[in-house]
Amino acid sequence: MSGLARFFRKPETVAGGLILAVLGAIALAAPALFPGDPQAIAGPPLLPPFRDWALPLGTDRLGRDMLAELVHGARASLAVGLAAAAASLVAGVLVGTLAGFAGGLADEILMRLTDAFQTVPGFLLALAFVSVVGPSLSVVVAAIALSAWTGPARIARAEVLSIRERDYVAAARVAGMHPLAIALREILPNALPPVMALSSIIVAGAILTEAALSFLGLGDPNRVTWGGMIAEGRAVLRSAPSLSVFPGIALVLTVLGVYLAGEGAVEGAAARRGLS
């Protein structure tokens, strides 16, 4: 069975893939579905959901269209999740490979640095970074990557340490290959798959961290975010709970989709490696 066929075997994985596909499509089509500013006033304030079909999910305290805000919020969540995961994977793989390949003092220093970043609670670090540098989407991405790179770094280092002792690496060395070429062409490609297996967890964690930062008022002030919407709705939690409940459901569905699809992808990749 190929990896792809295995990916679609479990119903959970199919559900996860479907959720992500729909969300991706919505995020990409947001400007076409709801053109104009999603934060513009669209109707009377605090219109309850399912009353007016022009505004199916109702309006918030300022009369903004909840559905338009939700759809545009998908863009921020997915963009931050993917960008933060990419940044932390690249940084982690670089640090881990360097530490594992160089060994000695460089390894020791880099690993103590990794320890230090893992000791400080990631969310506090992100909070401090955003509050010092100032909130914007790219700063939020950097703040999340600042604590998320440690996992990939540890795994990349462990992989490099085990791969560098293998016969084909010794063969490359005997053949007179440059150490840098060995690191980039022989070791790195083989060390990557286990690191990539972490990506779904990192994307999910990044989406949740961005939501929490926005909830505390440290998200990008110029963009609609689900966390920011929940914070908005919190002021009228008693009279209009739907304002905080809807964006929360969107968050849960997104993160769950990432987990489910990620698990299937990891299992599929593992099966393919097992066969070859």
Partner 1 sequence: MSRALLLLRRRLVGSIFVLAIVVAGTFLLLEASPGDAVDAYIASTGGDAGMIELLRQRWGLDQSALTRLANYVWALGHLDLGLSVAFSRPIRDVILERLPNTLLLMGSATALSFALGTALGIVAGARPGSFGDRALSIGSLALYAVPGFWLGLVLIIVFAVDLRWLPVGGIETVASARTGLARAADIAVHLVLPVAALGFIYLALYLRMMRAGMAEVWRMDFILAARARGLPRRRIVLAHVARNALLPPVTMLGLQSAQMLGGSVVIESVFAVPGLGRLAQEAVGARDTPLLMGIILTSAVLVLAINLAVDIAYAFLDPRVGADEAAA
Binding interface with partner 1 (CB under 8 A) = 12, 112-113, 115-116, 118-125, 127-129, 131-133, 204, 208, 211-212, 215-216, 218, 227, 230, 234, 237-238, 241, 244-245, 248, 251-252, 255-256, 259-260
Nearer to partner 1, 122 or 193 (CB): 122
Nearer to partner 1, 170 or 252 (CB): 252
Nearer to partner 1, 19 or 67 (CB): 19
Q: Are 247 and 226 contacting, i.e. CB atoms less than 8 angstroms apart?
A: yes
* Torsion sign (Cα): 210, 212, 218, 220: positive
Q: Are 200 and 266 contacting, i.e. CB atoms less than 8 angstroms apart?
A: yes
Name the phi and psi angles at 221, rounded to 5.
Answer: -70, -15
Nearest-approach distance from CB 136 to partner 1, in angstroms: 15
Nearer to partner 1, 58 or 227 (CB): 227
Orientation angle between helical segments 242-275 and 11-33, nearest 10 degrees: 130
Please name the residues in contact with 4: beta carbons below 8 A apart, sequence gap of 6 or more. 268
Nearest-approach distance from CB 26 to partner 1, in angstroms: 18
Buried b (16+ CB within 10 A) or exposed e, 67-99: bbbbbbbbbbbbebbbbbbbbbbebbbebbbbb
Nearer to partner 1, 30 or 204 (CB): 204
Nearest-approach distance from CB 76 to partner 1, in angstroms: 14
Nearest-approach distance from CB 124 to partner 1, in angstroms: 6
Amino acid code (one letter) for 191: A
Nearest-approach distance from CB 204 to partner 1, in angstroms: 7
